């Protein structure tokens, strides 16, 4: 079973090389594709030096567009989505592959323990409630970007723009009848924190999640 990793990254020079090297220790992964979302630092160069194939977007288009660009470069049967800021902890992604390779799941989602100064959890709560309303399923960490996905799922879902991608992917996969499983996993990433930049990031994320939910809830009400 061919497995490749797609890593969206923007201004992740501090961590991207460690992320790529960690993914390359996972024997099942045959290639790592880093999508540099118009970074102003050396993200692309460092990813390439660490052994990744690099796709560079000339303007900042957001996470959803970065994932679509990465998917256009792979025909793998299983695609691993990993954020560029995980560093050495990206090696835990192997645990996401095991249930899919064993045939027990179609999409796995890493569910890290709650905690730390990353925010108030408001956006995550909205996503959780919206997914439950749309599918009847409850997910503990619906905004987790660390996922392993079978090709069949990717052919049936829409990759939503920007930060709405995880919420939309979960809803679309569950509605299509695929087996979606959360797996408790601990990993490290760069936290946005309770700063002006952090609040601005969460505001953009919240708007994108709301748009993804609105379109899917509307679609559910109008479906014959």
Residue spans of the domains in the chain: they are: 3-222
Question: Quick one: how many helices (H) and strands (E) in the chain?
Answer: 8, 7
Binned at pLDDT 50, 70 and 90, residue 13 comes out as very high
| Core vs surface per residue 68-83: b (16+ CB within 10 A) or e | bbbbeebebebbbbbb
Binned at pLDDT 50, 70 and 90, residue 104 comes out as very high
Q: What is the pLDDT of residue 74?
A: 97
pTM for the structure as a whole? 0.89
Mean pLDDT estimate for the chain: 90
E strand or H helix at 180: strand 180-184
- 175-189: average pLDDT: 94
Q: What is the pLDDT of residue 162?
A: 86
The CATH number, out of the four listed (3.30.70.420, 3.40.930.10, 3.40.50.2000, 3.90.550.10), of the domain defined by the range 3-222 = 3.90.550.10
CB 133 within 8 A of CB 217: yes
- 77-93: average pLDDT: 97
Q: Is 181 helix (H, G, I), strand (E, B) or coil?
A: strand
- The tens digit of pLDDT for each residue in 22-72 reads 999 999 999 999 999 999 999 999 999 999 999 999 999 999 999 999 999
């Amino acid at each position: 079973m061919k497995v490749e990793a797609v890593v969206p990254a923007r201004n992740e020079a501090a961590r991207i090389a460690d992320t790529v090297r960690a993914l390359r220790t996972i024997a099942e992964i045959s290639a790592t594709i880093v999508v540099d979302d118009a970074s102003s630092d050396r993200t692309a160069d460092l990813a390439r030096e660490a052994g990744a194939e690099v796709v560079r977007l000339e303007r900042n288009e957001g996470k959803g567009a970065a994932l679509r660009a990465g998917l256009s470069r792979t025909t793998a049967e299983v695609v691993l989505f990993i954020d560029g800021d995980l560093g050495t902890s990206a090696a835990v992604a192997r645990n996401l592959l095991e249930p899919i390779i064993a045939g027990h799941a179609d999409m796995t989602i890493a569910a890290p323990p709650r905690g730390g100064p990353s925010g108030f959890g408001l956006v995550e709560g909205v996503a959780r409630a919206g997914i439950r309303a749309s599918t009847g399923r409850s997910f503990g960490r619906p905004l987790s970007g660390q996922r392993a996905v079978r090709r069949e799922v990717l052919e049936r879902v829409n990759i939503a723009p920007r930060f709405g991608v995880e919420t939309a992917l979960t809803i679309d996969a569950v509605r299509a009848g695929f087996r979606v499983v959360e797996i408790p996993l601990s990993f490290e990433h760069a936290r946005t924190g309770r700063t002006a930049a952090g609040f601005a990031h969460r505001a953009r994320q919240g708007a994108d999640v709301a748009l993804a939910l609105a379109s899917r809830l509307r679609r559910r009400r109008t479906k014959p």
